[in-house]
Amino acid sequence: MATSYICKTVCNVSDKRGNVTVYKPGQATTKIKYNKMNPIQRAKFEVIVTNGNGSRNPYTRDEITEIVSLYLINDNVRVVRDTFMDLNPNTLHSRDSVNALIGQLRAMDNRYPSDTEWDVKSLVAEVAHEMASERFA
């Protein structure tokens, strides 16, 4: 088993020399850096235990398409997440993971110009743009 440390919200971390690293939601850090953070900073990260090959259960095109479809019907993060989880009770994705994917959609959504904090993965951008290019910049 391997462990990943994924930022859930913007987090500023400074090292002993005063250099500041700004983590965006969805951005990963190493175990060494995570262990050097104080408890308040650590709380802003999700600890994910992955399977033996290091895979974090990446989203398939079909899963992303389903989430984008749900988002286009109702862009409320909680509604989209809960609906996806209800429709896919055996999913390997956590609620936080689904929230992160929805956050990526909001970062691209023309209706939410101030939501730009998320690192948008290429497949998410591709699927969203294919489904609603006028809405997702």
83-123 confidence digits (pLDDT tens):
999 999 988 888 888 999 999 999 999 999 888 778 889 99
56 domain-assigned: no
Is 49 a residue whose pLDDT tops 80?
A: no
Task: State whether 81 and 112 are in the same domain.
Answer: yes
Is 58 a residue whose pLDDT tops 80?
A: yes
55 domain-assigned: no
Query: Under DSSP, is residue 11 helix (H, G, I), strand (E, B) or coil?
Result: strand
Number of domains in the chain: 2
59-74 confidence digits (pLDDT tens):
999 999 999 999 999 9
Residue 68: predicted pLDDT: 97
Residue 47: predicted pLDDT: 81
Task: State whether 7 and 41 are in the same domain.
Answer: yes
